[in-house]
Structures are given as structure tokens and as C-alpha cells.
Amino acid sequence: MQEFANNEASLKIESDQMSLVFVHSPFCGTCHLARKMLSTLEALFDKGIFYEMNASLHPDLMERYKIKSVPCLLVAKNGEILEKIYAFQSVPYLHERIVNYVKQKDNYPGNDE
């Protein structure tokens, strides 16, 4: 998982590539469990597919994208939030929710990640 620095979060969310952004707080116990689930998914896909954003450091983005709580997984492209996932029920549940987004991200022409 790659952590954003400064204005990097906004640039990635607004880029024309699919972005999967894990929004969290270091003081949130549920966020720590969610991170473990996402790390398991990265191991399953055998690559880093998530970016992470500390909600405390980005209050402007929290407001702009109307993020109600953490943990939250944002699926974004071209500055548009395609989906917000708040329920981190299980690894299989999350896999089912994001697999098509990961495939779209992989098939993007010129994607060098």
C-alpha cells in the first residue's frame, strides 16, 4: 500500500487512471483490521493496488468527496468517485467488490504500475 504525501492524494484521485484509495485514521481500530484485509488482497493480486490516505491529514478531501467515516475505500477515476465502500465485511466480500476495478486498472493502456 502506498501512502500519499501532501497534494498527491488529490492528483491521484483526479487522474484518468483508476484509483483505489484506503481512507483511514491511525487511531481507528477497525481501520487496522481493514488494512490487514487490503494487504491480503494485495498479496492475492501479487501487487500493490491500493493507495492510503490518512483522513486526519486531508480534511479538505474528506469534505470534498463527502467521506462520512473511516475506514473507507474510495474507487475513483477522473476526479469522480465511482464507489465508496464502508463495510469491510471480509476478504472475499472486498475481493468481489473490487475485482472488476482492478481488471480495469490493469487493462488501462500505458499503465506502468
- pLDDT score for 111: 45
pLDDT digits (tens, 9 = 90+) for 65-111: 999 999 999 999 888 999 999 999 999 999 999 999 988 876 644 44
**Per-residue CA distances from 86 to 68, 90, 106 (Å):** 9, 12, 24
pLDDT tops 80 at residue 17:
yes
Give the mean pLDDT of 43-59: 91
- pLDDT score for 79: 83
The superfamily CATH assigns to domain 2-106 is: Glutaredoxin (3.40.30.10)
CA distance 28 to 106: 31
List strand residue ranges (DSSP E) for the chain, in order: 2-3, 19-24, 51-54, 72-77, 80-85
Residue 49 C-alpha from the chain's centroid: 8
CB-based burial label for 51 (10 Å; 0-12, 13-18, 19+): buried
Enumerate the domain spans of the chain.
Answer: 2-106
pLDDT tops 50 at residue 5:
yes
Average pLDDT score over the chain: 88
Model pTM? 0.88
pLDDT tops 50 at residue 113:
no
